[in-house]
Structure 1
Amino acid sequence: MKSRTLVRSATALVAAVALLTACSSGSDPDAKAAGDGPETLTVWIMKDSVSAEFLARFSDGFEQQHKDLKLDIQIQEWDGIGEKVTAALASTDAPDVIEVGNTQVAQYAASGGLTDLTDRTGDLSGDDWLPGLAEPGKIDGKQFGIPWYAANRVVIYHKELFEKARITAPPKTRAEWIDATEKLDKGKTQGIYLPGQNWYTLAGFIWDEGGDLAVEDGGTWKGALDTPEALAGMEFYGQLQALGKGPKDSDEAKPPQAEVFAKGDVAQVISVPGGAKIIEEQNPQLAGKLGFFPIPGKTADKPGSVFTGGSDLIIPAASAHQKGAYEVVKALAGEKWQTDMAKTMSYVPNQTSLAGALSGDEGSAAMAAGAAQGRATPNTPNWAAVEATNPVKQFMTAVLTGTDPKTAGVKASASITKTLGS
């Protein structure tokens, strides 16, 4: 983000030179001379996003279907990737396809270095995309990021503790959730372990109320934690958080909530489904005793809103192989490989109609059900700077420790507004 302003002019110059060169030569940059071998496409995939076995299957399958194309898949480290992608977008030798975090697309689009794929969304089943993945990839009405996969939080619960409390079915509404958690929060049992700064969970409650963390008004972004909707979401968070012993001044990593749950006296925790595996590693005696359900909504007809994490696929404007790059994106985002990846990695597919691919796994099925109500953080390149200091966390702790919610909301909103406008 620090280099975004610096690279904008460089990117524009590169694009202009490339355009003039293409026009003067009259040639198609994707064209090959007769007798040349397959065209090599460079694809950047982030470390641990998918397994080596999946990538090998995809590469072999893709090349069998596209005899004129060959894939050079390069694994990238998350550490420092922002600067590396920004530099690549401003270069004349960019990779052809890049996996990026779904909330990073706005940052890269601001450089002017991404290919606009708006006219391809119909071909890619864009009407069926998960909103939480599709929205961050759409900047100023143009689709730059193509949804690849998603993951979101669910409620992991201790089945035996539910049985002891005579709770026969997971709650489907907020009211039922509070009622069940009150029954669970007895004796040595914590009804739920919810730290005071789990701000992604708070975001979902705010979205359910019709609010947001920040809103755009006339091209200017403003913090919105002081709105009635945000304060209502925080009020519910406080009710739920009080039914356990979670710290009010830290998040789910301090201490690691999986370790807390693994002690066996916690009835519920909010986590991605994979958190259950970590819990079972900490306490093997809990294996087979954990269940999952979507975060409940205000009404029983749909789950609560959740933050959708995941990845998008982008094509740099400087890619010399635009047609081939699109074929890679189309394949990775299509039904065949979305279904394969969902079953292999337990990710939520990018299309709501493919949620059935996870039906055999309880945790993944709960995640897929919640993903239909997925949302993303405010779609502005400066949101990453907000997260760096995170006034949302400070707002939550202030309210939970007795500060007037409206006063705390005004202060946090002012901080967010200042950062987004900087």
Structure 2
Amino acid sequence: MKNFRALSVALVSALTLTGCGVIPGTGSDTRTVRIWLMQDSVSDDFLKRFTTSYEKDNPSVELDVTFQEWTGIGKKVMAALESGKGPDIIEVGNTQVAQYAESDALLDLTLESVRDLGNEQWLPGLAEPGSINGSQYGIPWYAANRVVIYNKDLFADAGITAVPRTRAQWLDASEQLDDNGVQGIYLSGQDWYTLSGFIWDEGGDLAVERGGDWQATLDTPAALRGMAFYKELQAHGDGPKAADEQTPPQAEVFAQGNVAQIIAVPGAATVIEKANPDLKGKLGYFPVPGKTAERPGSVFTGGSDLIVPEKARQRGAAIEVVKALAGTRWQTDLARTMNYVPNKTSLAGVLKDEEGTAAMAAGAARGRATPNSPQWAEVEADNPIKTYMTAVLQGKNAARAARQASERITDVLARG
């Protein structure tokens, strides 16, 4: 989702020893908090600022940060949790918390989330996946979600002077733009994350838990209405019906100059402008429109939570570091540095001067995450939702295709 320069940072500082329960002048009493962050999640400058400041304020603590690759991280985290020899803090994808919590190897951070971290203001798309059976195991850290990126020149040429704020306005604008060799919107047929938002807006869901069992719900009337809207919107462009947004990469298609809109994270603008420098200064952003103008549409929220292993060697010190990273000061710094959405809706104002990120933050307030089942990753591995979407866009019976997809997903979710 992000295009940031690679990082290779491991910061360890030896500092003067003071503090509660620590004997001054005894080097062996320094507590080293080991942290796993994901590659490219933060910049070199941000990490240096945080580490220097935190160690200055907490001279009995030093931070040892190691960066991990996303590929294969699930098995590596599970092994660390089981062995008790892993790090004290781990950054994980927000939708991964459930599979780690299932191991009973995560520290319950419910008290800290209520007492110290203002959990009532957290973005739902980060907070809900981190909460399992009423206990908070994942502390929201940062978020990113899709917005509409549009070509300002093509909007002006079509006589559109205001960005759409409702679904109806969005459909009208997309139809008006879809003319004279211009695609009103480029929307691939298997962009199931975008479909999820439309389903949520209709009051539906991808799957629900009933009595401890998960059941897919693509065949409900609400979910079918979400798919019907997707089909209507997708028709105002030439996006492939049997491929996702990476086949071909939609940012590269947009960069050709004859596409009015795509649905993507704001960072896609970097790819677009690199491919076509003539588009610099000509890109605009707005939140995915909702059914009414009062609030934007629902969107899938990606991002990261922070977890603390139950067997963490420096559990108390780790909790304090997590509280700092998730607190207002460093959330503000992280959001401005990395163009992320901060973990609280109350902090959205810190992004008001960044058009793309501000649009993202507006949508994040209505963000959601995928079903909180430990088996959901298996659903995505061979995703029946994509097959279902293609079938509907190619004219197959939507209710029948949705029922078939729901049955397949329910079977996968039952394997746990």
Q: What is the rounded CA distance, in whole Å, between the counterparts of 1:194 and 1:113 in structure 2?
A: 41
CA drift of 1:323 comes to 1.1
Deviation at 1:33, TM superposition (A): 6.0
Deviation string for 1:69-127 (max 9, x for gaps)?
Answer: 10001111111111110000011322110000000000000001100001111211101
Deviations 1:138-164 (A, max 9, x none): 001000000000000000000011001
Q: Which residue of 2 aligns with 1:129?
A: 122
- Provide the TM-score with structure 2 as the length reference: 0.93
Q: Does 1:77 align with 2:69?
A: yes
Letter paired with 2:148? V
Partner secondary structure for residue 321 of structure 2: helix
The whole-number CA distance in structure 2 between the counterparts of 1:131 and 1:179 is 30
Q: Counterpart of 2:187?
A: 194
Q: For 1:192-229, what per-residue CA distance to the aligned partner results, in whole angstroms no more than 9, with x for missing partners?
A: 00000000000000000000001111111011010001
Q: Deviations over 1:279-311 (max 9, x none)?
A: 000000000000000000000000000000000
Distance 1:75 1:254 in 2: 29
Partner of 2:26 in structure 1? Answer: 36
Q: Distance in 2 between matches of 1:240 and 1:366?
A: 20
Partner of 1:234: 227
Please name the residue that 1:5 is paired with.
Answer: none
For this pair of structures, how many residues does the alignment match?
A: 393
Q: Residues 45-77 of structure 1: CA distance to partner in whole angstroms, max 9, x if unpaired?
A: 110011111111100011011111100011111
Residue 337 (structure 1) aligned with residue 330 (structure 2): yes
Question: Structure 2: any 5+ residue segments left out of the alignment?
Answer: 1-19
Answer whether contact 2:36 2:67 (CA < 8 A) is retained.
Answer: yes
Residue 97 (structure 2) aligned to one of 102, 105, 111: 105
Q: In the alignment, residue 278 of structure 1 is paired with which amino acid?
A: V
> Which whole-Å CA distance do the structure 2 matches of 1:146 and 1:278 have between them?
31
Cα contact 2:22–2:60 (8 A) shared by 1: no
Q: Deviations over 1:341-393 (max 9, x none)?
A: 11100000001111111111100010000000000000010000000010000
Which of 372, 386, 389 is the aligned partner of 2:382? 389
Amino acid at match of 1:113: A
For 2:300, the equivalent position in structure 1 comes to 307
Other structure's SS at 1:370 match: helix
Query: What is the letter of the counterpart of residue 280 of structure 2?
Result: A
**2 CA distance for matches of 1:166 and 1:309?**
34
The counterpart of 1:253, out of the listed 228, 246, 250, is: 246
Mapping of 1:169-180 within 5 angstroms?
Answer: 169-180=162-173
Q: Is the aligned partner of 1:366 residue 2:356?
A: no
Runs of 5+ consecutive residues of structure 1 not aligned to the other structure: 1-29
Q: How does 1:288-327 map to 2 (within 5 A)?
A: 288-327=281-320
Shift of residue 36, structure 1, vs aligned partner? 3.0
Q: Which residue identity is paired with 2:26? A: D
What value does the CA root-mean-square deviation take over the aligned residues?
A: 1.0
Which of 37, 50, 55 is matched with 1:58 structurally? 50
**Retained in 1: the 8 A contact 2:149–2:263?**
yes
TM-score (norm 1): 0.92
Which whole-Å CA distance do the structure 2 matches of 1:36 and 1:44 have between them?
27
Q: Secondary structure at the match of 1:162?
A: helix
Alignment partner, residue 4 of structure 1? none
Specify the code of the residue in structure 1 equivalent to 2:121. D
Match of 1:142 in 2: 135
